[in-house]
Structure 1
Amino acid sequence: MIVISFGITLIYFLLIARFLLGFDRIKTFELRQLKPKTRFSVIIPFRNEEKMLPALLESIRMLNYPKDYFEIIFVDDDSDDTSVDLINSLSANTSYPPTNFKVIKNKRTSNSPKKDAITLAISQAKYDWIVTTDADSVLPIYWLNSLDEFIQKQRPDFIVAPITYVNTQGFLQNFQLLDVLSLQGATIGGFGVNKPFLCNGANLAYTKELFKTLNGFEGNSEIASGDDVFLLEKAIQHDKMKVQYLKCEHTVVSTLALNSWSNLIGQRVRWAAKSSASKNLFGKFVGLVVFSQNALLVCCVLLVPIGIMAPQYLLFIFLIKFSIDFLLIYKAANFFDQKNHLKHYFLSSLCYPFFSVYVAFIAVFKGFTWKDRSYRK
């Protein structure tokens, strides 16, 4: 038992250490105020987002990019609140800077409404570059400028960009923030070691031509979520060199953390449910190692009281994980300028193994609810 425990911990330590090295290999991209050249079709699926849309719409209004160089395609996924009215009233407001807004109705063709929405919007998009984000997001003022300059300089076909939580209050929301920072650290680190395996659809860009070449979401359209990572996998298989990470402070899309443990668990179960369909072997390896390390700590906590494991072994394993995780989260927090939230790290590190094991258990044996719809795996 001791040998297995330290074997798992060593593998985990080396994996996170590799992400730490990879994080620093991705250099921060600096804006040079180049003349805009790229035209974007920004796609935003939504369902009952009347509370979140005002902040998103205001951030769109503030975008410092030529208004005739981008369009916004909102895809209404059967909303029954005032979301559509909010968007239409803004587009009709003559005091609002002219932006090409469009609201279209989603057409369900699969088990994944979001993939259907994106596919439909791409079929109607005017421009060659597709950018996706979420209706509960807030966009930074130089968002499209950053994407444009990166495209001009690096010539990618697929861009993964950063997201984070803002205005986090209390332990629950800061727990989520630290978790997302660890995911962002692993995302950047994965690109840095030439093993990309994560991305987030709230800040993703790719060419329309690439989407057509990859046959869109064909092959995983029956899986409710995963519009981001499954497309990333296909893009990597097609041409890994054209898949790049944009590490730029002006590109960070923000959103709000969830306000209840039940909502958080449901979200994480949804994220975990798609992992079994992943074809990225490195991503599967990472998931297995991370789960094994967390499950090991939970088992050790149970074994110490009954005398099967000495307390000092549990403490040693915990300190190794605690330390290496902190270094990765610190790097991410420094990039996102959120180091002040690290004060919640100690308590979060105690809770996280139990949380992650519980989520994995629920993901295996139960379905999930998303936008008031129930799904099986």
Structure 2
Amino acid sequence: MTIFTIVIPCFNEAEHIGMCLSSLNNQNFPRNQFEIIVVDNGSEDASVEISQALADRTIVYPDGKVGAVRNKGASEAKGQNLVFIDADCTLDNDWLNRALKLLSRDANTAFGGGCLLPPNASWIEKCWLLEGRDGNTLPKELIGCSIVTPRKVFKDIGGFDECMASGEDSELSARLKSAGYIVNMTRCLNVTHWGNAKTQFDFFNRQAWHAEQYKKSWRSNIKDPIFLLALVFCTSTVATLVLLPIGSTKTFLGIILLAVAPSALTVKRYFRTNRGPHNIKEALCSYYLDALYLTGRAWGLLRIALERVK
């Protein structure tokens, strides 16, 4: 009997996919009771070759966004339960045992975990994935690198949205709740994430890419506080640049908004960790990353607006 099917979307992850698959093959769980499916989205590196050597099946699926890639793996699954893991993550040896224990308590619940810092974490990773007194900060919604759900629940809600370039995981989480299912976030399903942005340039580009999720529905975007904050930040930036030569009161107001918006995110992140900054350096670095975060999201919004004008 196949209890778990582990679906791993992959795109140019030769640096990490070997570690990911090794951590799965080394689980303290009967190997004949779970299968590993890697769905490759058109990698140009050695990802496919590595996956073919270490996974049960490697499906080459070059067309489609990440939701479609995940759904493709799920459609080929034999397991009673689906596990979605990202190719740049590793699991400790008892991860599947804990997942089964959680599912045995409630078969109609989707479970998710958070991200642990790798041993060689950069200052960007440490200040972005702030750890609190109790450990890592758990996300409020499911994230694609750690999802466990009964296959029948996943099929009932129609799987991931295949039109979204990003944010398909949180959208799935919201749809599960709307359908009456419970979404339980727990540190029992934490994974170590090795593919975090380690440079400011990569961090900015990742946020600009995440802004692609705003293309789907402006109506649903209005309900997203982060979208509204990014919109305010984007508008304030443009207005400040336009009005800067004039030097009016509105210019001063725009500058204040630009300074305040990131601080709202910083305060929120520290509040969720249940602690304050360890020192002034950490506080300033965290604020800077939130400013860079909003700048990336604002740039992504601006690109979407320009595309629609064309």
User: Is 2:141 the counterpart of 1:230?
Assistant: no
Provide closer, same or farther for how the CA distance between residues 343 and 133 of structure 1 changes in structure 2, counting only shifts above 3 A: farther
What CA deviation, in whole Å up to 9, does each residue of 1:107-141 have, x standing for no partner? 63x4x1x2222222122110121111111111122
Contact 1:38 1:148 in 2 (8 A): no
Distance in 1, Cα, partners of 2:67 & 2:54: 26
* 3-state SS of 1:366 partner: helix
- Choose from 288, 292, 309 the match for 1:355: 292
Provide closer, same or farther for how the CA distance between residues 290 and 88 of structure 1 changes in structure 2, counting only shifts above 3 A: same
Provide closer, same or farther for how the CA distance between residues 71 and 286 of structure 1 changes in structure 2, counting only shifts above 3 A: same
Contact 2:38 2:59 in 1 (8 A): yes
Distance in 1, Cα, partners of 2:292 & 2:92: 32
Contact 1:142 1:251 in 2 (8 A): no
* 3-state SS of 1:284 partner: coil
TM-score by length of 1: 0.64
Distance in 2, Cα, partners of 1:221 & 1:323: 34
Distance in 2, Cα, partners of 1:52 & 1:79: 13
Distance in 1, Cα, partners of 2:217 & 2:13: 29
What percent identity do the matched residue pairs reach?
19
* 3-state SS of 1:50 partner: coil
* 3-state SS of 1:228 partner: helix
- Letter in structure 2 aligned against 1:102: R
Q: Residue 79 of structure 1 aligns with which residue? A: 43
RMSD: 4.0
- Letter in structure 2 aligned against 1:55: M
- Letter in structure 2 aligned against 1:237: S
- Letter in structure 1 aligned against 2:41: D
Deviation at 1:323, TM superposition (A): 5.6
Provide closer, same or farther for how the CA distance between residues 168 and 366 of structure 1 changes in structure 2, counting only shifts above 3 A: farther
Deviation at 1:185, TM superposition (A): 4.1
For residues 178-327 of structure 1, the aligned pairs below 5 Å read 178=130, 185=137, 187-188=139-140, 198-217=141-160, 220-239=161-180, 242-248=181-187, 250-256=188-194, 257-275=196-214, 277=216, 284-288=223-227, 290-291=229-230, 325-327=269-271
Consecutive unaligned residues of structure 2, counting only runs of 5 or more, are 305-310
User: Is 2:92 the counterpart of 1:155?
Assistant: no
Contact 1:39 1:128 in 2 (8 A): yes
What CA deviation, in whole Å up to 9, does each residue of 1:204-233 have, x standing for no partner? 12222223222234xx42222233122222
Q: Residue 176 of structure 1 aligns with which residue? A: 128
TM-score by length of 2: 0.76
- Letter in structure 1 aligned against 2:162: S
- Choose from 115, 119, 126 the match for 1:167: 119
Provide closer, same or farther for how the CA distance between residues 362 and 179 of structure 1 changes in structure 2, counting only shifts above 3 A: farther
What CA deviation, in whole Å up to 9, does each residue of 1:281-329 have, x standing for no partner? 69934325654897899999x99x99968xxxx9999988766642323
- Letter in structure 1 aligned against 2:87: A
Distance in 2, Cα, partners of 1:163 & 1:171: 16
Contact 2:128 2:289 in 1 (8 A): no
What CA deviation, in whole Å up to 9, does each residue of 1:2-38 have, x standing for no partner? xxxxxxxxxxxxxxxxxxxxxxxxxxxxxxxxxxx98
Deviation at 1:187, TM superposition (A): 2.8
Provide closer, same or farther for how the CA distance between residues 296 and 343 of structure 1 changes in structure 2, counting only shifts above 3 A: farther
* 3-state SS of 2:99 partner: helix
Distance in 2, Cα, partners of 1:186 & 1:294: 26
Consecutive unaligned residues of structure 1, counting only runs of 5 or more, are 1-36, 92-100, 189-197, 334-338, 368-377
